[in-house]
Each structure stands twice: as structure tokens, then as C-alpha cells.
Amino acid sequence: MFKDISFGQYYPADSVIHRLDPRIKMLLTVLFIVGIFFVDSYFGFMVTAALLLVVILLAKLPMMSVLKSVRAIIFIVIFAAVINLFFIKSGEVLWSWKSLQITDNGVHTTIKITLRLILLICGASLLPLTTTPVAIADGTESLLKPLKYIKVPVHDIAMIMSIALRFIPTLFEETNKIIAAQKARGASFDTGGLIARAKAMLPVLIPLFVNSFRRADELAFAMDARCYNATENRTKMKVMKIDWADVVAFFVMAAYFAGVLVERYAFTGIMDGLIFGGLV
Amino acid sequence: MPQIEVNNVGYAYRLGEGQTVRALRGVSFTVERGEYIALVGMNGSGKSTLAKLLNGLYVPSAGDVLIDGVNTRDEERTFDIRRKVGMVFQNPDNQMVATIIEDDVAFGPENVGVPREEIVERVNEALEAVGMTQFRTRSASKLSGGQKQRVAIAGVLAMRPDIIVFDESTSMLDPEGRREILAVARKLNDGGITVITITHNMDEAAQADRIIALRKGRIVADGTPKEVFASAAVAECGLMLPPAAETARLLAERGFSFPDAVTTEDELVEGICSQSK
């Protein structure tokens, strides 16, 4: 009926990118997001787009799956573009009507903001597209490990995350069953105003909650029966380890990040001047 | 020394201030290695409580439960006992911890600190034993009820238990799923694992080597299926005989005489044929 959402956006494929360590992928994603805010030249955006294209091809992802995530933020992009286009007053005026005016600086900023947002979302979506939520949870546990020293219960948090992921499809299925049962008794979920609809959800939420507690109770017994104890001498079947591909990926991203900073602060505008001449 | 020794066990639930419900009273029996036992009784007869006493999930209010001579009261040994006595529960959805099947099977061995290489070996072995190897990297939510219960059994097998308790593990399954689980239970028992199955399905109980019937927290019958079905215990417990045995009983009331007690269809056919001669 609905997609198994415990797999989220995950696009299964056998690729170098899919096989990268989830911790590395998370770090690289953060680095990329920070990096792209320093990009401020058309040349920089071209390099970023080329880098993304190479990663998408390596990951064997269909272009559409990446562009889909852009669709989700299209209104934010349009909003940001319109605001910048009309409200930047500096530079040469290209067009004006009453109090509205468009300047050349405004046009450049608008194009750059749009590019930045789109590339940002495309880049960030590569993580969930190539990594299962389970791997992301494992990676988070490993990355948070240092917090153990300040008594943060890292293992417990990770266990809670993975159990939550495990039960999402189960609870979804149950919600649908309860809705069907209430409909059979004449409940209506799609008539009336917002408040009426919210009220109609109450007879769905209460049984769902009660059942969740019962499930939690049974799950606790099942975990106890299988010797669960959150102690140190637990072992793991799947051990994450840094591979050569992870090292290479890290250096590629580090080079990109350094390049972005150098281009912005040491060669401000020079690359754009060389490529686009008088245009920009 | 018997593998399981239940000695005059009583168990009371607390309902609140001063109120208790006595789920079990004076229950005693022993189980030898490799037995296949069905524990039968109506809802509220105390059979699930008894199951949870066998691996220390509950500790008896009176009497003792000994597994290979170790008392379940001994907190130091709780994990040894739970490793030995595996348990498969009723609801397949509520006993799975991980999203991915192989991760769920690995959960038990991970808990007791089995080295990584050995976990992989045990997971392979356990999935093989229940015939779920080709599903190992799939998500559990897409499986049928019977398949989910097979994964749950694999999770127990990965602990390399001596005893497996099935706590109404087939009651939420369709007939196909039920057959799958019974076949696996039979196979494991043939491999030397003691099986204790809790059920109110008498057809299922008829496949056991021995039936223990409970009524209001007391044992009312303990014997082979033939013995138990021939006695009044089953009716006393409010349970139905398996169809073949029930037919034989009704025929006997009308003047048929069967040389042996009847539990299966084949025996019924044979019994009826012997009449006409």
C-alpha cells in the first residue's frame, strides 16, 4: 500500500558510494554543506555541480531520484529568488517600475542563491539515498561515542533509534487497521474543518497508544529472554571499518573544501573573469 | 539429573495494594533432555506464566525451578539459564528488535559477547536451520507471519539453546504458517533440542510426546497424548479433543469399542475398520 518507510529514500544499488562507511558519508555531507556556503563564484558552482555529477554517476543513482528532493524545496527556492531579485538595490539598475527595481547585483545574487540551494539539497540527499537508516543509526552511535565520557548513554540512544526505525512500518500498518475499523463503525476522517478532522483522529490515536505500550511490554520480555543487557561486553556482528575508498573520498572532499576557500579568498573573482570575461 | 525440574511452584501476580492473583499453585514436573512436551490449558490457566518461569523472566513466589540443576532464583546465573532456554513468543511483530533480518538473528549472540566471526557463523547456521537464508538482508516487515516466526526461532537458535519454549507461537498464524512452525519445531526436536510448546490447539498438542494439562493454575493431567485424551482431563480443562479423538469418543458412547485410545485420523480409520470385521 505504501512504501516501506523504514528504508526511507534509500535507493538500493551496489556501488562504491553505497559501500562507503556511513560515518565518513555523514562527515563528508556536513563538510559539503559548510563548503557550499563559501562558494560565491560561477566557476565554484560549476566545479560543485561537476563533483556532484561524478558522485551521482558513481552511486548509479537515476538523476530523477536526486532531483525529486529539489521538488520538496522548490517554493523556498522561488521565494528566496524573488526576494533577492527585487530587494537588492545596489549596482546598476536594469529595470524599474514604481518602487520595484532590478539591479545587476540582484540578478547575480539571485542566480547564485538558487544554484546554492539546489546544489545543497542535491548533495545532502545523497546520504539518505545511498545509506540505509539502520546504517545511519549505527554511524551516529559510533560518531557519538566520545560523549560516553560525559555520561551520555550513547548505546541506549542508538538502541532507541533502531527500535523506532524497526517499529515505524508496524505502527503504520496498525494505524491503517484502526482507521479501517473506525470507518466501519461510521467514523469520518475526511469531512469537516481542520479542528473536526483533528478530533476525528483521537479514536485512532488512543488505541494506537494503548497497543504501543502493550507492544513495548512484550518487546521488553523478548529482549530480556535474549539476554539483553546494555553492558560493555556486548559485541557487534557488523563492524564498521575505514576502507581505502573512505580515505580517497575524504581527501577528495578535503581538496574540494580547501579549493573553495582558496578560490574565494585568494583568487576572488579571478576564475569567473577568466572564463566569462566581461559578462560578470 | 532431569534437564528441567519444577518443584512445587506457586506464582502470584500483584494487582495492587494487598490484592494478588494466584496464577499457579503446587506445580511439579520434570523434563528429560530431548522431550517434546505440549502444555495445554484455557486462557488464564497459568500456562504462559509457567513458560516465563522456565527461563527466569519470572521468579516463582513459592517452590523452585531448576534448569540443569541451576535455580532460576540465582541472579548470577540468569544469563546462563536464558542462553540455555530460548523462548519464541506469540506475536511475531513484538519480538523483533532489528529492521534487517540478519541483524535481528545476531542480537542474542551480540548480547552475550560472542566474538564477531562466531556470530556470523551462528547466524548462517540458524537461518539455514529455519530455511530463511535467502531473506537475510531483507526488511522483516515484508515477511509473512510464519516467516517472521521462523526468524524469531533463528534468533533463539543463534544462542545455541538446549531447550526452546514456544509460547503460543502459532496462535496468530494462518494454517500454512502454523504448519511451517510445527515442522521446524519437530526438526529441532529430532536434532536433540527439548521442545516445550504452549497451545490450546489440541491437534498441535497431539503431535507432542507428552501433554501437561493445566486448569486454574494446577496440573490436572500429565502423560502421553493417548493417556491424556482418554482421561476426562481435556474436557475438565474446557478444551476440545482433536477431531479424530472426539469422533472416537462419540462412537464409543454409542457402543463402538476401540482396542487402543485414538489420537490421529489413521488410528480412527483403523479402529473403525476393526469394528466391521
So what's the pLDDT on residue A2? Answer: 43
Q: Indicate the residue of A132, A170, A237 with minimum beta-carbon distance to B93.
A: A170
Contact B95 A166 (CB under 8 A): no
So what's the pLDDT on residue A212? Answer: 93
The whole domain housing B183 covers 33-59+70-225
Q: Where are the domains of chain A?
A: 13-132+244-279, 154-225
Q: What mean pLDDT is predicted for residues A132-148?
A: 87
Q: Do A85 and A43 contact (CB within 8 A), yes or no?
A: no
Compute the distance between CA of residue B102 and CA of residue A238 in angstroms, rounded to an integer: 10
Q: With bands split at pLDDT 50, 70 and 90, how would you rate the model's confidence at A5?
A: low
Please check whether residue B18 lies inside any domain of the structure. no
Q: Indicate the residue of A4, A133, A237 with minimum beta-carbon distance to B120.
A: A237
- Residue carrying C-alpha cell 476522517: A189
Contact A170 B120 (CB under 8 A): no
A146 burial level (CB within 10 Å; 0-12, 13-18, 19+): exposed
B103 touching A, CB under 8 A? yes
A161 burial level (CB within 10 Å; 0-12, 13-18, 19+): middle
Task: Please give the full DSSP string across A141-166, using - where no structure is assigned.
Answer: HHHHGGGGGGT--HHHHHHHHHHHHH
Q: Do A82 and A113 contact (CB within 8 A), yes or no?
A: no
So what's the pLDDT on residue B276? Answer: 62
Please check whether residue B272 lies inside any domain of the structure. no
So what's the pLDDT on residue A280? Answer: 57
* Per-residue model confidence as pLDDT tens digits over B6-42: 999 999 988 777 788 889 999 999 999 999 999 998 8
* Per-residue model confidence as pLDDT tens digits over A99-111: 788 888 889 999 9
Compute the distance between CA of residue B211 and CA of residue B2 in angstroms, rounded to an integer: 17
Q: Indicate the residue of A224, A234, A238 with minimum beta-carbon distance to B57.
A: A224
Residues of chain B whose pLDDT is less than 70? 276-277
Q: Indicate the residue of A133, A234, A239 with minimum beta-carbon distance to B113.
A: A234
B59 touching A, CB under 8 A? no
B91 touching A, CB under 8 A? yes
Compute the distance between CA of residue A136 and CA of residue A128 in angstroms, rounded to an integer: 8
Average model confidence (pLDDT) across chain A: 87
Buried (b) or exposed (e) across A49-76, using 16+ Cβ within 10 A?
A: eebbeebbeebebeeeebeebbeeeeee
So what's the pLDDT on residue A278? Answer: 61
Pairing assessment for the beta strands B36-40 and B210-215 based on DSSP bridges: parallel
So what's the pLDDT on residue B203? Answer: 84
Q: What mean pLDDT is predicted for residues A247-254?
A: 94
B54 touching A, CB under 8 A? no
A235 touching B, CB under 8 A? yes
Q: Do B153 and B105 contact (CB within 8 A), yes or no?
A: no
* pTM for the structure as a whole: 0.81
So what's the pLDDT on residue A17? Answer: 93
Contact A227 B106 (CB under 8 A): no
Q: What's B48's domain CATH number?
A: 3.40.50.300
ipTM for the predicted complex: 0.88
Count: domains in chain B: 1
Q: Do A14 and A131 contact (CB within 8 A), yes or no?
A: no
Please check whether residue B28 lies inside any domain of the structure. no
Determine the residue type at B251. Answer: L
